[in-house]
A = this chain, B = another copy of it.
Amino acid sequence: MRFFSDNAASVHPAVLEALTRANRVDTAYDGDALSRSLDGAFSDLFETEVAAIWVSSGTAANALALAALCPPYRGIVCHRDSHIENDEAGAPEFYTGGAKLILADGAGAKLSPTSIAERIDAIAIDVHRVQPAAISITNATEYGRVYGPADVAAIGDLAKARGLRFHMDGARFANAVVYSGASPADLTWRAGVEALSFGFIKNGGMSAEVLVCFDTSIADEIRIRRKRAGHLASKGRYLAAQVLALLAEDRWLANARAANEGAATLAAAAGARLLHPVEANEVFLRAAPDEAAGLRARGFEFYDWADGEIRFVVSWDQPPPEVEALAAALARL
């Protein structure tokens, strides 16, 4: 029973069907009808005019957005435990041409206006220090915490006051929307977010994410940078089709809801062992080595996170009996 990662999950059948339906001759790159419909589809979803640009990975979406928001000689404020700092092999540095990630703190990998201000106020304003140009937050965070609309807006206000651009890594944006109950618009541009890496792959997709530009003035540059990075697929319709299939019938929300509910079930069973409130589809808890071994012996697969800490991720397609079995096992610890 795999609770390793939502990256290990399968692809939603509707996505595969959409690929089959898309399988005919059409214009190359992003000139096909499906790709051309994305701006409209995401503008509807976000209740404002956006540019919606498919890419083939969340790392690419993040790095492209950051390259458009931060010049090479400035920095991006992010959490010390963020994906862009720890899990992208330096993609932000590569794409921006050497911008510096400026690390701030906060419980559950969640930044706050206070923690951000503290960090950047310590940077003397002169030509010797790398000055910040942008803030990037992850929603839901790397520890499964969710920024609600007010959380995001508070950071958005700070960004505006300090002249900083604002990016959201939404690899698990769907889980954040479901948990917060907020509209996609309230969780992003209405709260000041200028670019969103909207994740689909962990949530039932195969190989397509969408970089949503609320500041549409950066879209042209991003399209050039996408090509230059080798992310302009020559048969783009197969990426667009995936995304459209997940938007259809609100599958993206249903998938995230299923994953969140599974995690909530685990959280209830884990009780006081939880390291972080469970708000999305990740569950971090304390477990002694022998306890972890015991769980593994019963067939549960998961990551050791740190000494005495383990992580479970519930995927959109996780069979409920697996969740129940794990919840029971956790309750028995």
Enumerate chain A interface residues (CB-CB to B < 8 A): 2, 4-5, 7-11, 13, 16, 19-20, 23-29, 55-64, 71-73, 75, 86-91, 93-101, 127-130, 201-202, 206-207, 221, 223-225, 227-235, 238-239, 315, 317
Which residues does chain B contribute within 8 Å of A86, judged by CB atoms?
128-129
Q: A23-B11, A58-B234 are in contact. Are A90 and B63 (CB under 8 A)?
A: no
Closest to A27 in B: B8
Do B94 and A100 touch (CB < 8 A)? no
Which residues does chain B contribute within 8 Å of A90, judged by CB atoms?
72-73, 75, 98-100, 130, 228
Closest to A130 in B: B90
Closest to A61 in B: B230
Known pairs A72-B72, A89-B224, A207-B238. 18 more at Cβ < 8 A? A8-B25, A8-B27, A10-B24, A25-B315, A55-B230, A56-B56, A59-B232, A71-B221, A75-B90, A87-B128, A88-B227, A89-B129, A94-B229, A97-B98, A98-B98, A127-B224, A202-B234, A207-B207
Report the Cα distance A234→B87, complex, angstroms.
12
Q: A87-B129, A130-B89 are in contact. Are A234 and B24 (CB under 8 A)?
A: no
Do A11 and B238 touch (CB < 8 A)? yes
Do B28 and A4 touch (CB < 8 A)? yes
Closest to A29 in B: B7
Which residues does chain B contribute within 8 Å of A97, judged by CB atoms?
72, 94, 97-98
Q: A-B pairs with the 3 shortest C-beta distances?
A: A60-B230, A93-B98, A7-B28
Do A56 and B233 touch (CB < 8 A)? yes
Which residues does chain B contribute within 8 Å of A95, judged by CB atoms?
230
Which residues does chain B contribute within 8 Å of A317, judged by CB atoms?
25
A63's partner among B9, B61, B101, B230 (CB-CB below 8 A) is B230
Return A132 CB to nearest CB of chain B, in Å.
12
Closest to A129 in B: B86
Do A227 and B128 touch (CB < 8 A)? yes
Do B11 and A25 touch (CB < 8 A)? no
Return A316 CB to nearest CB of chain B, in Å.
11
Report the Cα distance A26→B6, complex, angstroms.
10
Return A92 CB to nearest CB of chain B, in Å.
9
Report the Cα distance A227→B72, complex, angstroms.
13
